[in-house]
Each structure stands twice: as C-alpha cells, then as structure tokens.
Amino acid sequence: MNPYPRGYGGVRRDPEQVKREGWRDMGLLAVSAGDQRLNWAEREFIRQIGEKLYGASPSTWR
C-alpha cells in the first residue's frame, strides 16, 4: 500500500530545473536579484525591473 495519496510523493525536481523548464516552456523568468552568476549591471537591471513591476522589495525599505 502506498503511504501517499495519488499524485503525491515521488522525486522532487531541482529548483533550477523548474526555473529552466519555466523559461523554455512558458517564457517565464525566475531570477534572484542577488544571483552571483550575474554581474553587477545585470543584477541592478533585474532589481529595477522588479521595482517597476512590483514596487520596492522589503530589503530596500528604510
């Protein structure tokens, strides 16, 4: 007997894989403004887009 309800359990996907598939399948981009794979200009650009679309993040509130 399976201890999990139907549709639950199994192998959990890596978060980077979920992001990659979201981009490739739906054109959705999930990126942290602090991602160290980006240079300063790219991180700043991401921050500005986030603020334009959603307002200031709690970490920038003073």
What mean pLDDT do residues 15-44 have? 95
| Percent of the chain surpassing pLDDT 90 | 66
What does pTM read for this prediction? 0.69
pLDDT for 27 equals 96
Q: Is it the case that residue 61 has pLDDT exceeding 60?
A: no
Cβ-based neighbours of 51, under 8 Å, separated by 6 or more = 57, 60
Q: Is it the case that residue 14 has pLDDT exceeding 80?
A: yes
Q: Is it the case that residue 59 has pLDDT exceeding 80?
A: no
